Amino acid sequence: MKEYGLFVNGEWVKAATGKSFVSQNPANGEALAAFALGTQKDVDKAVQAATQAFPAWKNFPPPKRGEILLKAAAILRQRKDELGEVVTKEMGKVIAEGKGDVQEAIDFLEYIAGEGRRLLGETTPSELPDKICLTLRQPIGVVGCITPWNFPVAVPCWKLGAALISGNTIVFKPATLTPLCAAKLIEIFEEAGVPTGVVNLVTGSAEEVGDAIVRHPKIRSLSFTGGVVAGKEIYVKASSLLKRVGLELGGKNPQIIMDDAHIDTAIEGLLFGAFGTAGQRCTATSRLIVHEKVYGEVKEKLLSRLKSLKIGNPLDPTIDVGPVASQEQEKKILNYLKIGINEGAELLWGGRKLTGTPYDEGFFLSPTLFEAKHGMRITREEIFGPVLSMIKVKNYEEAIAVANDVEYGLSSSIYTRNVYLAFRAMRDLEAGVTYINAPTIGAEVHLPFGGVKNTGNGTREAGTEAIHEFTEVKSVFVDFSGKLQKAQITE
């Protein structure tokens, strides 16, 4: 079994403690690789390397930074099948989605590389003659990136790509469930030509490594994707040090099916949105809100399709749903199934751990459908698993009210052939992302991604907004009059 160290100042090194942990395949328990268990001392070394590398990288021409990112994207493209298999083995998503995770990373790096020739500011006239005003976007400095396990290649590339093109240096902590994907990605960035010290990888626990990154005085900006509780703790700690903080947190995403929707299309979208990645996406569909006129038809057709889903080894291309990512995830989801039943929700399908061959060695749960009432915990709290709650409503107004009546606001969807309702939903749904006649998953990298309410704190990843998280705006005034001019002084 291969053992990886930390990647600090361009070298793979041992952790200060010499201790390690093992990454495992959630489908069968196979040990994949061992990783250094980092500490605060290791974070200090990584920050020191990033700090030393920052001045040269800041002044490295942005188009040249873009060329490095394009090369990284090209290497990812060459190794897409290989790395996609690593994603599937380490995280558990089916192989098509594992390759899709890598493809999203490729797409974003190719897209954000173009910002090297943009990094747009503004120019405006001055109130004084022979003077011009403009803004520049400049890097913040050393950035801490803390990423989740559910998109172990794509989300790190979202953060690292935007931070790098902006001229920042990085200390990167991946989730402890998926460090192998992170190590493979670092190898690719190194091969692509990212200079020594610009990107540093420190694996280890959130309590030790994550907290050290959050609290380190020389890390000026933090980008975190994960749960709401952890996000709030990070925000409090970091904001007390006046750090820039970008948070992308949870979701409780609704799909609305109106009485005029194309039902079969809506159900196909729903199956992908709710049970793709075994429901372990922040954008996963967890609430199905259905107009009462088509509720019976939707219920019947959905149950029929649910019964045909194949659950098993995610490397098998015929499988629809793989395992959940860990025993901890499995335990949490099973507890929510009990909560739903105790609340009085009707279990229509699933609701159990799968046993027997080939399930005993992994964390396999049956896709689950509840018939629920709005306000139950399973309709309000993020479960992050293959669990869907079906809710009946009388009309569009009630559908929107139910959709919005949660603490999250990441993704949303409505299926309707009524153009008036579609445009009203674009306005009315409280979410950072809205889909019309498409599922709640499937964000494209050239549009901003993020949410409202407890889903985040206003920052956005991807799209033209991506570099805003990792840059400061500087206002510049150029006076070419050859004399002192006093703005706002009229006497």
CATH at 279? 3.40.309.10
| Residues 245 and 258 both lie in one domain | no
d(CA 293, CA 452): 31
The torsion of the CA quartet 28, 87, 96, 154, rounded to 10 degrees, works out to 150
Please report the pLDDT score of residue 1 as a whole number. Answer: 86
The reported pLDDT for the residue numbered 5 is 97
Task: Look at residue 491 in the predicted model and tell me its pLDDT.
Answer: 67
Three-state DSSP at 278 gives helix
208 and 259, same domain (yes or no)? no
Q: Looking at residue 356, what DSSP letter applies?
A: S
Q: Do residues 314 and 244 share a domain?
A: no
Q: Is there a domain that residue 484 lies in?
A: no
Residues 245 and 261 reside in one and the same domain: no
**Within this chain, do residues 117 and 264 fall inside the same structural domain, yes or no?**
no
Do residues 181 and 214 both lie within one domain?
A: yes
266 and 243 in a common domain: no
**Statement to judge: residues 189 and 293 lie in one domain:** no
For residues 363 and 25, what is the distance between their CA atoms, to the nearest angstrom? 10
* Tokens matching residue 312: 């098993």
Query: Any idea which residue has 């160290």 for tokens?
Result: 5
Domain finish residue from 436, 465, 485: 436
User: pTM, whole model, 2 decimals?
Assistant: 0.96
Query: What CATH number did the domain enclosing 46 receive?
Result: 3.40.605.10
Does any domain span residue 413? yes
pLDDT score recorded for residue 121: 94
Domain-embedded: residue 380: yes
462 in a domain, yes or no? yes
pLDDT of residue 489: 83
User: Is residue 448 a part of any domain in this protein?
Assistant: no
Per-residue confidence of the chain (491 residues) as pLDDT tens digits? Answer: 899 999 999 999 999 989 999 999 999 999 999 999 999 999 999 999 999 999 999 999 999 999 999 999 999 999 999 999 999 999 999 999 999 999 999 999 999 999 999 999 999 999 999 999 999 999 999 999 999 999 999 999 999 999 999 999 999 999 999 999 999 999 999 999 999 999 999 999 999 999 999 999 999 999 999 999 999 999 999 999 999 999 999 999 999 999 999 999 999 999 999 999 999 999 999 999 999 999 999 999 999 999 999 999 999 999 999 999 999 999 999 999 999 999 999 999 999 999 998 899 999 999 999 999 999 999 999 999 999 999 999 999 999 999 999 999 999 999 999 999 999 999 999 999 999 999 999 999 999 999 999 999 999 999 999 999 999 999 999 999 999 999 888 76
The DSSP symbol for 483 reads: S
CA distances to 147, 156, 171, 223, 376 from 165, rounded to whole Å, are: 18, 14, 15, 15, 45
My answer on whether 18 and 164 are in the same domain is yes
> Looking at the domain assignment, is residue 445 inside a domain?
no
Which residues are known catalytic residues?
Answer: 248, 282
Q: Are residues 382 and 234 in the same domain?
A: no
CB contact at 8 A, 319 and 97: no
Residue numbers of the domain that contains 378:
253-436
| 40 domain-assigned | yes
- Contact between 348 and 371 under an 8 Å Cβ cutoff? The reply is yes
For the chain, how many structural domains are there in total? 2
Is 311 found in the same domain as 342? Answer: yes
Look at residue 490 in the predicted model and tell me its pLDDT: 73
Residue 441 falls within a domain, yes or no? no
DSSP character for 174?
A: -
Helix (H) or strand (E) holding 331: helix 327-343
Same-domain status, 399 and 462: no
